[in-house]
Amino acid sequence: MIIRDATVLDLSDLTRTYNQAVLSTAATLDVEAQTLEQRSEWFSHYGDKYPLLVAEISGRVVGYCSISRYRTKPGYDRTVESSVYVDAAFHGRGIGRELMREALHRASDIGYHVVIAGITEGNDASVRLHASLGFQHVGRLREVGRKFDQWQDVNFYELVLT
C-alpha cells in the first residue's frame, strides 16, 4: 500500500468512495450522492496547509483522509478536523489507520495543535480507530442531523498534538 498526496486524477475514485458512504452509511450526513463537479469544488480546498491523502493498492485508490479547516475565525487556525473514508471492499485491512497516521504526522509537521473528529453515533469502527490513535471523546451533540429517516447524534473526539 502506498500513502500519497491526492491529485486531481484521483477525483473519480475519491467521489466513488465518498458516495459509497453517502448512500449506505450515516458516516457522513450528506444525503445525496455527490457529482464530480461538487467534489472538484471540495478538492480545491486542499493542498500544503490542508493535506488530502490517498491509499493506493495495485494502482487503485482505495481510501482517503483529509485534514480540513475547523472553523473560519482566526483563533481556530491551529485546530483542524479530520475525515477518513475507505472503499467498502477494503474495510478491516488497516487502511484507515495508515491514512490517519500519516495525516496526523502531517498535521503535526504543519504546526496544528488539535485535531477534531466528528463521528456519527453507531460508527463503532471509526470510534475504535480514533481511540487507538489517542483521540479522546469530548462531547456529543444529540439529534443534530437527519439521515435515513432517523435523527443522528454526532460524537466529537479530540487529539492534542503539541
User: pLDDT of 105-140, one tens digit each?
Assistant: 999 999 999 999 999 999 999 999 999 999 999 999
CA dihedral 61, 54, 11, 23 (to 10 degrees): 80
Report the pLDDT value the prediction gives residue 162, as an integer from 0 to 100: 79
Report the pLDDT value the prediction gives residue 106, as an integer from 0 to 100: 98
pLDDT of 5 > 90? The answer is yes
pLDDT of 87 > 90? The answer is yes
Say which residues have a Cβ less than 8 Å from residue 94's Cβ, sequence separation at least 6: none
Strand order in the sheet with 136-147: 2-5, 52-57, 60-69, 79-86, 114-120, 150-160, 136-147
Query: How far apart are the C-alpha atoms of 17 and 125, rounded to whole Å?
Result: 17
Structural domains of the chain sorted by starting position, each given as residue range(s) with its CATH number in brackets: 2-160 (3.40.630.30)
